[in-house]
Structure 1
Amino acid sequence: MADEILFTNIAASDNMADLDVMNGHEVPLTDLQQLEPSCLLIFIIAGKVVMNIFIFGARHRNVTASFLGYFCISLAAMDFALLLVIASIHYFQDFSVVGVRFTSYHICLFTQIVSHTYGILHFPVLLASGLDYYLTIVKSIKISWICSGLVYTVSVLLLWMMAFIYVLQSHVKNPAVESYDSAYLCTFYISRQSFYLSAALVFTLFSVLAVCCWEIVSFIKSLKVVSYANSTVVLFSFPSGDQWPIQGQKRFLASLLFSFLGTWGPFVVLQVIIFALCAHIPAYMDMNVPWLYFMNSFLIAVCLALKYPDLPVTEKTFSTDPFIGWKYCALPFMDADLNKGISLLPSAVTIV
């Protein structure tokens, strides 16, 4: 019994009063029952590591460095480190390192620490990423790749250090649960930050959809799917008589929305389902690489919208997103004489 951890069902409302400092709450992983948590956690974290590998393999190779790109790499490394630690503890069961004894209890402890750390990083990471894109896209500030790489690396390391220090120094009171000893409760942190961010994103998308509904209907009516250079290209035609560059804030927003939903549409649907079901996702799963790249594309789209109609951006700017070719959204709205250096390569979504 000493090496087993009891997962217990606790209502979220019972925890909120004592956990406001963490901007979230803790809920159990399963209903009231005795479980062996090691295998379950190893299976979940291993699945997350495999998902990270798949996402990194699917992204475009020639991508401009960004803060969020560096943080995604560090997050994947942290996930792998957590998997390695809990798998080692599960395998050796009870052992000592430099006089420190490790048992199955530490599998839950380490996962809780990482979960709390992930849960408080959503706002800081996306604020830093938004500032990064605002300076590089909207303000067009240029710095060398050596300086940018150094700044991003130091910023990511400092962010992780401050988050871990905050979590280790914060006191989170475990709720009392009937007759069970709190030492055997394994609760996992549920972040409110990701919920608020996802809600804001979905609300923004539906707002843009409502504002640009007529432009979107026109685009859908003109939709054509062709094959070019062994790639599938989606074409949208503008009404005859329009001259280059195409004008119109709503048209530009509609083109951004099409490209975003063309890549991340299933992820948007998943966010809506999670809201509808009020699903509680532990923070060690809620903070993941696909979700960060999803928010990355959203931040880039916002910055491009802020930059319009002054859009003489470079190829380097358009290669910031590893999943969406934003230049095919912007090219019809850009002065052709000022952007001759931007290459036209086929992509999954093209607007002409």
Structure 2
Amino acid sequence: MTVFPSGNCSSPYKLQHTSQPLGADTLLFLILSGKTLLNVLILGMRRKKTREHFMGHFCLSLALLDLFLLISVAIISLFRDFVLLGIRFTRYHICLLTQIISFTYGFLHYPVCLIACIDYYLTFSKTTKLPFRSQRCLYLLTIIVMWTSVLAYVLGDPAVSSSRGAQSASPQQCPFYVSSQGAWLACSVLLVLGMAFIASWSDVVAMIRAVRVTSYRNEVVLYLPRPPHSTCTTSSRKALLPQVLVCFLGTWSPFVLLQISILLFRVQIPAYIEMNIPWLYFVNSFLIAACYWLNCHKLTLNDITAPVDPFVSWKCCFIPLTIHNLEKTEKPMSIIIC
């Protein structure tokens, strides 16, 4: 088997070289262990009773593949030199396996987002209505085809293959692949959020100033004062935009700041780390927010009350609840369940 070279090559795919020896596979094991624990934590924090769509199923497949990579690195690091199914595995294969996974992860940002967009478009447009089992099987089939197709491309494409050299490569360095898809996707999301904030910054600031955080029925809620005779309508995108921004940023503002910092300081993150479940759920909430905002004229109450986001409750943008006896001196307020 071959390993990825540490020397320069003419491949269009960007490789960054680590200054740490290959013997630092313990560090790689710790990084993968942290990522796996983060996957378990994020998956455990999801809202219950939400309709799982394509992105949710893909996150589960990513968690399984991360677990596979962690176990593989642990086994190779432990036995160092062994033969399995007629193949000799050494510590060099840790670098090789990580590089293959990195290329595979790095090429998946655009396809995953594209399929998620199509999935939510079909969901909100109601063009197709498949039974739950059939829909789930379709998601699983799509994910299997996606993983196998990208993996076959990584292993068979000449441009990617040119990034792999012979066994004579220096054992002191293990280059890692940095994907440009994640950076461009983050730039696009931040650009849209910035434009939306500029377009409705006065309303957003007014809502944030008036917000009150408390607990209601064992859930964290935000109280937003409303005019006495105001009504909640989904017919105006302009009125809906600040509410969508407040809901989105109320959950994902730390992640937005993290993405801004990464882009400003040009932090180069290996693709096997950059593709992670928090990032995918962040993009998932953004896509849902965009679909709600673009289709606000077509939505019905059934569409809104059925949760599709494991981390953000969007129904507050359309169906605000009211507590009339919160305080004697306070007027009725709308409830946003975060």
* TM-score, reference length from structure 2: 0.87
Shift of the 243–57 alpha-carbon distance from structure 1 to 2, 3 Å rule, reads closer
Given the alignment, which residue of 6, 27, 31 partners 2:16? 27
What pairs with 1:245-284 in structure 2 (closer than 5 Å)?
Answer: 245=233, 248-284=236-272
1:297 aligns with 285
Question: Unmatched 5+ residue regions in structure 2?
Answer: 322-334
Given the alignment, which residue of 155, 161, 180 partners 2:142? 155
Given that 2:46 and 2:311 are in contact with CA atoms closer than 8 Å, whether structure 1 keeps it comes out as yes
Matched, 1:93 2:80: yes
Shift of the 115–6 alpha-carbon distance from structure 1 to 2, 3 Å rule, reads closer
Runs of 4+ in 1 over 4 A off after TM superposition: 5-8
Match for 1:91: what amino acid?
Answer: L
Given that 1:318 and 1:325 are in contact with CA atoms closer than 8 Å, whether structure 2 keeps it comes out as no
State the shift of 1:316 in Å: 7.6
Greater Cα offset, 221-230 or 291-300:
221-230
Given that 1:26 and 1:189 are in contact with CA atoms closer than 8 Å, whether structure 2 keeps it comes out as yes
Task: Work out the number of aligned pairs and report it.
Answer: 319
Distance 2:78 2:228 in 1: 68
State the shift of 1:89 in Å: 0.8
2:55 aligns with 68
Distance 2:144 2:22 in 1: 35
1:336 aligns with none
Distance 2:35 2:42 in 1: 11
Given that 1:6 and 1:34 are in contact with CA atoms closer than 8 Å, whether structure 2 keeps it comes out as no
Which SS does the other structure have where 2:318 is aligned?
Answer: helix
State the shift of 1:156 in Å: 0.3
Shift of the 111–182 alpha-carbon distance from structure 1 to 2, 3 Å rule, reads same
State the shift of 1:306 in Å: 1.0
State the shift of 1:139 in Å: 4.0
Match for 1:240: what amino acid?
Answer: P
2:108 aligns with 121
Given that 2:234 and 2:297 are in contact with CA atoms closer than 8 Å, whether structure 1 keeps it comes out as no
Given that 1:138 and 1:303 are in contact with CA atoms closer than 8 Å, whether structure 2 keeps it comes out as no
- Cα deviations across residues 79-107 of structure 1 (Å, max 9, x unaligned)? 00011111111111111012211100001
State the shift of 1:7 in Å: 10
Distance 2:61 2:191 in 1: 29
Shift of the 181–27 alpha-carbon distance from structure 1 to 2, 3 Å rule, reads same
State the shift of 1:225 in Å: 2.8
Distance 1:232 1:192 in 2: 37
Given that 2:22 and 2:174 are in contact with CA atoms closer than 8 Å, whether structure 1 keeps it comes out as no
Shift of the 91–74 alpha-carbon distance from structure 1 to 2, 3 Å rule, reads same
Give the share of equivalent positions with the same residue, in percent.
37
State the shift of 1:268 in Å: 0.3
Shift of the 332–61 alpha-carbon distance from structure 1 to 2, 3 Å rule, reads closer
Question: Unmatched 5+ residue regions in structure 1?
Answer: 334-345
Given the alignment, which residue of 217, 224, 232 partners 2:205? 217
Shift of the 321–309 alpha-carbon distance from structure 1 to 2, 3 Å rule, reads same
* TM-score, reference length from structure 1: 0.84
Matched, 1:59 2:51: no
Root mean square deviation, CA, Å: 2.5
Shift of the 97–299 alpha-carbon distance from structure 1 to 2, 3 Å rule, reads same
State the shift of 1:223 in Å: 1.8
Distance 1:330 1:25 in 2: 45
- Highest relative contact order (Cα 8 Å, sep 6+), 1 or 2? 2
Given that 1:7 and 1:35 are in contact with CA atoms closer than 8 Å, whether structure 2 keeps it comes out as no
Match for 1:134: what amino acid?
Answer: Y
